[in-house]
Chain A
Amino acid sequence: MLLKAFARQQRCIFLDFHRTRLVLPILILKLFSLVCRRSGRAVAVLLAVALGACGRSDDSQITVYRIPKEAQAESTSLPAGESTASPIEVHWTAPSDWQEQSASGFRKGSFLVRAPDGKTADVSVISFPKAAGGVLANVNRWRNQLKLTPISTEAEAGTPTEVEGHDMFFVDLVSDQPITADGTKTRVLGGILPLAQETWFFKMLGPDQLVESHREAFKQFLGSVHIAERATTDAAAPVSGSLSTNGSGNTNAPTPPPIEPSQGAPLQYTLPPDWQEKPLSPMRLASFKAVASNGKEADVSVVSLPGMAGGDLANVNRWRGQVNLAPIGEDALAKTARHVQANGHDFLVVDLVSDAPMGDQHEKQRILAAVLDENDRSWFIKMTGEDAAVESQRSAFTNFLQSLKLP
């Protein structure tokens, strides 16, 4: 009786899941049901249960489900007053012809501006903790999206305005050439509002003409920004954000906040065009990968240590060891090193190339490094990589030094 029911079940498995991996076990099972004595049947049933379970893998099943709208789900599931979010709230009023979009990811507000001809511009409101790298780094990030060259001073970045006693930075950028498929230039209007614990970014991005025609509306929008203390009984509404690697194919995707050191004021710099920020390690205050035109990468690090950190000579000799060069003395160092003046700092710069190819790739290795001893701290800015890659990034390295503002 049991066996009959069991045989039916087998057939079900067989019909429901045309899976080759089940055929063999089922054949073995049939063999069992013919041969086994009563003692073996119990075990055979056990086997059947195990095999029956095999068919229920969900790896190739399409599923349909409903979830609460993401922003809503977040606010309802968080108990009142339990948020670790900042104690202030930022409000704004958008012009009535802007279409409100659901805020998602990093966005705290999102609007769509439509032109009569169907073109659209995107308005986003984003906040990042602390200084988020500073005004300059963020303006340069936007400039990069428009394929504009980076700038090095805040004065070029935009014009300061005031919102409720806070400095807001107004930015107006337009691309030199068309960068979208429809052949029009792209314009960015932006407002950067640094507050005590976070920085807010208001941005309109879209076709030049459309954004231009909404300039006044955007300025009014910035003017409507209102900062309030968060009431403690208020249910917090934190913003969801699924972190994802930043796709290269999306100019509009919010970038994760730029580097900030864990202590002291943030490091400010201009990111050279071929450089990308890398995750920080405990020692590094900033970390980049510089991509040379041949696709090879060089690693750039900014490290700061208290005191003299062993002195210049010891560090230079340590680096010489890394590229298989013999140590040198003070005199030789004074002769080979050059000095670079940047922002009132005097960097000692050494450029070390290995005599012979080394490493996995059998290429000459090179270290280009700048050292600065100032105010009881030592600073090391170092680029490591294959000779050709470092060579192609030499001017970018110097530009980076010029742009670097040490706290």
Chain B
Amino acid sequence: MSTAATTSSNLLRTPFRALASLQLTVVCLGLGMLLVFLGTLAQVHLGIHAVQARYFQSLFVFWSPPGMSWKIPILPGGYLLGVILFVNLIAAHATRFQFSRKKLGIILLHFGVILLLIGQLLTGLFARETQMRIDEGQTLAYSEAPREVELVVIDSTAPDYDQIVSIPEAVLAREGPIQNPTLPFTIKVRQFMPNSRLVMRSQAPQAPPSTATVGIGKQVVVSEEPRTVRDEERDLSAAFIELEGLQGSLGTWLVSNALLDRQSFELNGHTYSLVMRPRRFYKQFALTLLHFAHDRYAGTDIPKNFSSRVRLVDLERNENREVIISMNDPLRYRGFTFYQAGFDNNDKTTILQVVKNPAMLLPYIACGLVALGLLTQFSMHLFAFVRKQPR
């Protein structure tokens, strides 16, 4: 290292020691307990999903004074606490680390805790839970995010495939212009409503004229609603989008996941359709529901077992087999786990929870390491103690 670097490294030693201190650990754990407590209380008004995002999967918990638009951080969020604890633990090892056989147990144990923290972070960032709703006889090659929408522009010009441009909710919510090299127009999001109420214009004759100039939107009156916090309810999102081609505006459409039909138009010899729908995640394989079984205890309506007999077809890997997915027996395939989550439609539709968590194994390994570390440490003490005993 150069001289300059050495000087700066000396300057930085003191704050680094503070970063490695045990006091910091205690403060973080205390704040963590406070966060869990306040987060639990906040679920009453916000619902579990919003609390998870605002309290635990965030750097800071913000609060805005009533009636104000600005907000101030009042608590460190779950991610920040996790990162500080993680850095604290590593810093402690980095400053005081000396490898000796005596400390093997402690090292293993702490490495396990570090892995647990990393695993949690990765789960928070990458794990995705989606759903597949399949009717008997139906084949699906995608799962849907139940609480997230996407706007898709479908180019159905080609005879054998549809080209789809998927714009996730997070992009729509910015309400800015959206461009994609495959589309000959710019999408301008005039207004995005995470939750809304749609009423036919004929039922609300005194409503102001619609922003929409094309499609079904002209006949519909939309009003924004607060996002639902209840677990059994779903938001009906809506957006007014204006498309602008080279020759100017093509019109403003209303899109919503409450509208079932595609709204199509033609431009430069291509047929485009606009749809807002639950966000889809296509897979490289397809599932067909052959039969859904809902066994009840004899003579009662009490459910005994739910199971779905599905056919898994994966042309890429040459898979074609029947699988039974039941309550405690999920299907694991290509990194996805399919759990039997529910049913609908008089037992003719199955609902599968589709979980992809690349960090799924980390907590198991971490707990194994912690257990091994504890065992090593205690048995070393035990052996030392036994050896010291006078015979």
In the complex, which of the residues B12, B201, B301 contacts A283, with contact meaning CB atoms closer than 8 Å? Answer: B301
Query: How distant is A93 from chain B, measured CB to nearest CB, in Å?
Result: 22
Partner of B118, one of A28, A50, A244: A50
1/0 contact trace for A21-57 toward B, CB 8 Å? Answer: 1001100100110111101100110110010011001
By a CB distance below 8 angstroms, the chain B residues around A100 are: none
Interface positions of A from 68 to 98, Cβ below 8 Å from B:
68-70, 72-74, 77-79, 82-85
Q: Tell me the minimal C-beta distance from B140 to chain A in angstroms.
A: 8
CB of A245 closer than 8 Å to a CB of B: yes
A4 to chain B, nearest CB (A): 12
Is residue A179 within 8 Å, beta carbon to beta carbon, of the partner chain? yes
Q: When A35-B13, A246-B260 are in contact, do A60 and B170 touch as well, CB less than 8 Å?
A: yes
Stretch at the interface among A252-260, A301-309, A380-388: A252-260
Alpha-carbon distance A238/B278, docked complex (angstroms): 22
> Could you tell me if B286 and A256 are in contact, using CB atoms closer than 8 angstroms?
no
User: Closest Cβ of chain A: how far from B94's Cβ, in Å?
Assistant: 3
A62 within 8 A of B: yes
Interface residues of B in 307-358 (CB under 8 A from A): 311, 313, 315, 320, 344-346, 348-349
Residue B161 lies at the interface, judged by CB distance under 8 Å to chain A: yes
Is B251 at the interface (CB under 8 A from chain A)?
no
- Provide the A201-237 mask, 1 if CB < 8 A to any CB of B, else 0: 0000000000000000000000000000000000010
CB-defined contacts of A84 to chain B, threshold 8 Å: 136-137, 290-291
Of A21, A85, A252, the residue contacting B59 (CB under 8 A) is: A21
Scan residues 137-157 of chain B and give those whose CB is less than 8 A from a CB of chain A. Answer: 137-141, 144, 156
- Asked if B242 is at the interface of the complex by the 8 Å CB criterion, the answer is no
Residues of A within 8 A of B99 (CB): 39
Considering the chains assembled together, what is the distance between the CA atoms of A40 and B114 in angstroms? 14
Known A-B contacts A34-B12, A40-B94, A181-B219; A253 and B260 likewise in contact (beta carbons under 8 Å): yes
Contact yes or no, B138 A241, CB < 8 A? yes
CB–CB A82/B311 < 8 A: yes
Q: Which residues of A contact B345 (CB under 8 A)?
A: 243, 256
- A245 contacts B234, CB within 8 Å? yes
Q: B277 and A244: CB pair below 8 A?
A: yes
- In the complex formed, the residue of B with least CB distance to A280 is B346
Does A61 make an interface contact (CB < 8 A)?
A: yes
Known contacts A60-B170, A102-B156; A74 and B218 CB within 8 A of each other: no
Q: Which residues of B contact A78 (CB under 8 A)?
A: 139, 288, 311, 313
Q: Are A67 and B168 in contact (CB under 8 A)?
A: no
**A249 vs B260: C-alpha distance when bound (angstroms):** 9
Stretch of B23-31, B35-43, B79-87, B365-373 with 4 or more beta carbons under 8 angstroms from chain A: B79-87
- B261 to nearest A CB, angstroms? 6
| Residue in A closest to B264 when the chains form the complex, CB atoms | A101
* Distance, CA A45 to CA B236, complexed state (A): 44
Q: Which of B64-97 contact A (CB under 8 A)?
A: 79-80, 83, 86-87, 90, 93-94, 97
Interchain CB contact under 8 A, B315 and A77: yes
Distance in Å: Cβ of B258 to nearest Cβ of chain A: 4
Which of B5, B122, B138, B349 contacts A240, CB < 8 Å? B138
In the complex, A180 has a CB within 8 A of chain B? yes
Residues B212-238 near A (CB distance < 8 A): 216, 218-220, 234, 236
Count of chain B residues with a beta carbon within 8 Å of a chain A beta carbon = 85
Closest to A253 in B: B260
| B379 at interface, CB cutoff 8 A | no
Which residue on chain B has the smallest CB distance to residue A34? B9
Q: Any chain A CB within 8 A of the CB of B295?
A: no
**Complex formed: what's the CA distance from A69 to B261 in Å?**
16
Q: How far is the CB of A174 from chain B (nearest CB, A)?
A: 16
Asked if B133 and A40 make an inter-chain contact with CB atoms under 8 angstroms apart, the answer reads no
Closest to A254 in B: B260
Q: How far is the CA of A64 from the CA of B181 in the complex (A)?
A: 10
Does B59 lie within 8 Å of A70, measured CB to CB? no
Is the pair A82, B138 in contact by a Cβ cutoff of 8 Å? Answer: no
A36 partner residues in chain B, CB cutoff 8 A: 94
Number of interface residues of A (CB under 8 A): 76
A47 & B166 in contact (Cβ 8 Å cutoff): no
B-chain residues with CB within 8 Å of residue A245 when the two chains form the complex: 234, 236, 257-258
Residues of A within 8 A of B180 (CB): 62, 64
Please name all residues of chain A whose beta carbon is closer than 8 Å to the beta carbon of B121 when the two chains form the complex.
50, 54
- Please determine whether A69 and B160 come into contact, CB atoms closer than 8 angstroms: yes
A264 at the interface (CB under 8 A from B): no
Interface string of A103-147 (1 = CB under 8 A from B): 011000000000000000000000001000000000000000001
Contacts of B138 in A (CB 8 A): 74, 238-241
Quick one: given A24-B83, A65-B282, A247-B260, are A83 and B165 in contact (CB under 8 Å)? no
What is the distance, in angstroms, from A131's C-beta to the closest C-beta of chain B?
13
Contact B198 A39 (CB under 8 A): no
Q: Which chain B residues lie closer than 8 Å to A28 at the CB level?
A: 19, 83, 87
A63 interface residue, CB < 8 Å from B? Answer: yes
Contacts of A66 in B (CB 8 A): 161-164
CB of B90 within 8 A of CB of A35, answer no
Q: Is B34 interfacial (CB 8 A cutoff)?
A: no
Are A262 and B346 closer than 8 Å at their CB atoms? yes
B182 on the interface (CB 8 Å rule)? Answer: yes
Q: Which listed residue (A34, A69, A249, A256) contacts B5, Cβ 8 A?
A: A34
Query: Could you say which residues of chain A place their CB within 8 Å of the CB of B293?
Result: none
B375 beta carbon closer than 8 Å to chain A: no
A249 lies within 8 A of B258 (CB) = yes
CA distance A66 to B162 in the complex (A): 6
Point out the residues of chain A lying under 8 angstroms from B311, CB to CB: 78-79, 82
Q: Which residue of B lies closest to A25 (CB)?
A: B83
A39–B97 CB distance below 8 A: yes
A7 to chain B, nearest CB (A): 12
Q: Please name all residues of chain B whose beta carbon is closer than 8 Å to the beta carbon of A68 when the two chains form the complex.
A: 160-162
Contacts of A250 in B (CB 8 A): 216, 259-261
Most buried by A among B136, B165, B234, B288: B288
* A36 and B200 alpha carbons, distance in the complex (Å): 66
Per-residue CB proximity of B108-149 to A under 8 Å, as 1/0?
000000100010011001100000010111111100100000
Q: Residue A248 at the B interface, CB < 8 A?
A: yes
Whether B118 pairs with A67 at a CB distance below 8 angstroms is no
B199: Cβ under 8 A from any A Cβ? yes
B16 within 8 Å of A (CB atoms): yes
Given contacts A102-B156, A245-B258, contact A40 B313 (CB under 8 A): no
The reply on A282 being an interface residue by CB < 8 A is yes
Besides the known contacts A34-B9, A69-B162, A85-B137, 14 further A-B residue pairs in the complex with CB atoms under 8 A apart: A20-B59, A31-B15, A35-B9, A43-B94, A53-B122, A72-B160, A84-B291, A242-B144, A242-B277, A247-B258, A248-B258, A249-B199, A249-B256, A282-B301
For the complex of A and B, list the 4 residue pairs with the smallest distance between their C-beta atoms, beginning with the closest. A40-B94, A247-B258, A253-B260, A249-B220
